[in-house]
Structure 1
Amino acid sequence: MNAPNRYELYVLEEGERPVEVTEDTKIPNAATIKIVKQDHTLANLLRSQLLGMPNVLFAGYKVPHPLHPYFLLKIQTDGSVTPAAVLEKACTDLITTLATLESKFKREFTMNTVEGGVQEDAYGVPTSGAQWESGGTYVDLG
């Protein structure tokens, strides 16, 4: 079969760099970043985070081939900051957002498991705990 071994999709080889930045010579203030051992999940998160930043003119990615575990991220800025610096800021912002989401998620479930008292959903309807199958309880992360 043509598929690589599963561990090759996420384990860095000896001397392999996880991120390689190549400045673009044809487009001003642009760079192509190769991120290895990652897939569409991280690529799409980074692209959407970059597009929300005011000094980013373009951000897009492509996965050249599904059997090769890397993607290419193209970033063009307005010149006030480098593409590498914008990528670092986007990663930091994503980490902060995910940490906030995790803490809100954990808080919501600790509130649902408090013993004693009546548990209520967001609409004030009494519930008997998490009811994922029946769709009774929902998590308010806002």
Structure 2
Amino acid sequence: MEHGSYKDQSASTFSLADEDHTLANALRFTLNQDPRVSVCGYSIPHPSEARVNIRVQTTGDPAKEVLKDSCQDLMMICQHVRSTFDQAVADFKNTNGSESE
């Protein structure tokens, strides 16, 4: 769900249901890595409500597109971390398995 001015698409607030600091902080991090982002941040309206509001202000590009790109970047980061972890576990098992024989 997007809130903001239709005239200026470079600044928007996005409200994500059923989310918390875990996703919001990771998205804030990836958004801050994007040179098109001038300001971004997030808030949780109320502790009892599972909702996060993410504010994105860009240097001119539509905030919706920049947020979408950041979500894709975050997915790539998570995939890289997962594959690196899986490879490290496999390497550990191979190394320790050969020593016990």
- TM-score norm. by structure 2 comes to 0.89
Q: Distance in 2 between matches of 1:65 and 1:46?
A: 19
Higher share of residues assigned helix: 2
Q: Distance in 1 between matches of 2:82 and 2:64?
A: 27
Offset at residue 28 of structure 1 (A) = 6.9
1:30 correspondence with 2:30: no
Q: Distance in 1 between matches of 2:43 and 2:31?
A: 15
Identity level (%): 30
Aligned residue-pair number: 98
Q: Say whether the 8 Å CA contact 1:24–1:32 is kept in structure 2.
A: no
Q: Counterpart of 1:94 in structure 2: which amino acid?
A: L
Residue 100 of structure 1: aligned partner: 80
Q: Distance in 1 between matches of 2:52 and 2:18?
A: 8
Q: Distance in 2 between matches of 1:110 and 1:28?
A: 46
1:110 correspondence with 2:90: yes
Larger Rg: 1
Q: Say whether the 8 Å CA contact 1:35–1:72 is kept in structure 2.
A: yes
Consecutive unaligned residues of structure 2, counting only runs of 5 or more, are none
Residue 45 of structure 1: aligned partner: 26
**Larger RCO: 1 or 2 (CA < 8 Å, sep 6+):** 2
Taking only aligned residues, the RMSD between alpha carbons, in angstroms, comes to 1.9
1:55 correspondence with 2:36: yes
Q: Secondary structure at the match of 1:64?
A: coil
Consecutive unaligned residues of structure 1, counting only runs of 5 or more, are 1-19, 119-127, 129-142
Q: Say whether the 8 Å CA contact 1:60–1:73 is kept in structure 2.
A: yes
Q: Counterpart of 1:86 in structure 2: which amino acid?
A: V
- TM-score norm. by structure 1 comes to 0.64
